[in-house]
Structures are given as structure tokens and as C-alpha cells.
């Protein structure tokens, strides 16, 4: 019932009150960062620094670069250029800078968008759309922050950490009580 759910409604800001800062790709503070190939490179998959993963390492695709092909790996990625191909960094952060343009799906632990993305976004932990961001595609994330001015055309779904969709399997209080009762009585369905 509507009013009942309002009582139990958690905060309207889902654990995401602080606006994350989009990291600027400062070369002197990122010893492990590397610049990827220019647009003339062959259209194959690009592995992002898989040998020396580091929490401080950031790979940068600078403005003016264009990459065609899938990107996967373990280091954080800052895209300020243009990419066409899936970006899959499930244990890292992907940031699309203000000049960045991605025409493919992105899957990462954290996704920060300040530029343009034409594709679906799947974040393992959180997703942030900055004020200048433009996204066309579906969003799947456990937490998100959307600044005023962001443009989104697509569907938004929240998932619990561990990838069970909130919207697909909402657990009601009744179901919890039922499960507890069944557990206590030793029944199993």
C-alpha cells in the first residue's frame, strides 16, 4: 500500500550524498598511466595494462584519440577521446571526460560520466552522471547520482550488490516474515 511504503521509505538519496569528484588525468600523479593507440590502430581488442594492476594506475585515452575495438582489463580508465567498442573493466573505474564519446556498452565497478555515451551502462558499485553528461542507453547500478543538467534517454534499474535486481525481485516484509516462519518450522518449498 502506498502510504505504508512511504513510512518505510529510506532516504531519497541512496547512500550517495557526496558527489564524487571526476579525477583529472594528471600525468605527474599517475605513474602507471599510459596513453592508448591513436585512431589509425587496427580494430582489435585493446588490453588495458593487465600486468601491473594498481589502485593508483589510470589509463588515459586522451582527447583527439579514437579507438575502435573492445577494451578490457583491471586498471582504471579515463576516456577523453572517442571509443567504439565495449569497455569492460569490472574491477575498476571508468571515467568518460567532458570531451569523451563512447559508442558502446560500459561495464565497470564505478562509472563516472561527464561526456557522451551511446550504450548501456552497468556499474558494480555506483554510477555518476555529471551535469554535462549525455547518455543514451539503459543503466544498471546499485547506486547512482545524477546531477541537474545531465541528459539521459533510457531505462534506469537498480540492482543490489551481488547483481540481484531490486526491481525484478523486490522482497517484501511479508515475504521476509514468511521465510522466517518457514525456516523456524523446518519447511522448505
Residue ranges that bind another protein, judged by CB under 8 A = 1-3, 5-6, 9-10, 12-14, 129, 144-148, 150-158, 166-168, 170
Of 149, 154, 122, 107, the residue nearest 135 (C-alpha): 154
- Taking the C-alpha atoms of residue 95 and residue 98, their distance in angstroms, rounded to an integer, is 10
- Taking the C-alpha atoms of residue 120 and residue 2, their distance in angstroms, rounded to an integer, is 31
Q: What angle do CA 110, 85, 58 make, to 5 degrees?
A: 40
| Identity of the residue, 81 or 115, whose beta carbon is nearer to another protein in the bound complex | 115
| Identity of the residue, 4 or 187, whose beta carbon is nearer to another protein in the bound complex | 4
- Taking the C-alpha atoms of residue 66 and residue 55, their distance in angstroms, rounded to an integer, is 25
Measured from the CB of residue 140, what is the shortest distance to another protein in angstroms?
11
Measured from the CB of residue 95, what is the shortest distance to another protein in angstroms?
19
Measured from the CB of residue 155, what is the shortest distance to another protein in angstroms?
5
| Identity of the residue, 163 or 183, whose beta carbon is nearer to another protein in the bound complex | 163
| Identity of the residue, 65 or 123, whose beta carbon is nearer to another protein in the bound complex | 123
Measured from the CB of residue 130, what is the shortest distance to another protein in angstroms?
12
Of 145, 138, 146, 142, the residue nearest 166 (C-alpha): 142
Amino acid at each position: 500500500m502506498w502510504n505504508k511504503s512511504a513510512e518505510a521509505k529510506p532516504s531519497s538519496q541512496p547512500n550517495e550524498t557526496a558527489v564524487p569528484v571526476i579525477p583529472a588525468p594528471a600525468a605527474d600523479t599517475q605513474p602507471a598511466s599510459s596513453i592508448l593507440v591513436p585512431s589509425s590502430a587496427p580494430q582489435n581488442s585493446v588490453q588495458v595494462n593487465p600486468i601491473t594492476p594498481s589502485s593508483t594506475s589510470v589509463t588515459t585515452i586522451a582527447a583527439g584519440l579514437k579507438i575502435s575495438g573492445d577494451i578490457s582489463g583491471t586498471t582504471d580508465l579515463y576516456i577523453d577521446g572517442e571509443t567504439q567498442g565495449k569497455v569492460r573493466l569490472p574491477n575498476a573505474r571508468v571515467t568518460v571526460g567532458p570531451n569523451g564519446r563512447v559508442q558502446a556498452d560500459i561495464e565497470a565497478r564505478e562509472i563516472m560520466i561527464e561526456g557522451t555515451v551511446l550504450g548501456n551502462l552497468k556499474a558494480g558499485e555506483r554510477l555518476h552522471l555529471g551535469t554535462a553528461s549525455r547518455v543514451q542507453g539503459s543503466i544498471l547500478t546499485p547506486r547512482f547520482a545524477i546531477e541537474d543538467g545531465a541528459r539521459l534517454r533510457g531505462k534506469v534499474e537498480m540492482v543490489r550488490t551481488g547483481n540481484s535486481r531490486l526491481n525484478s525481485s523486490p522482497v517484501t516484509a511479508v515475504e521476509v516474515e514468511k521465510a522466517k516462519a518457514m525456516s523456524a518450522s523446518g519447511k522448505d518449498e
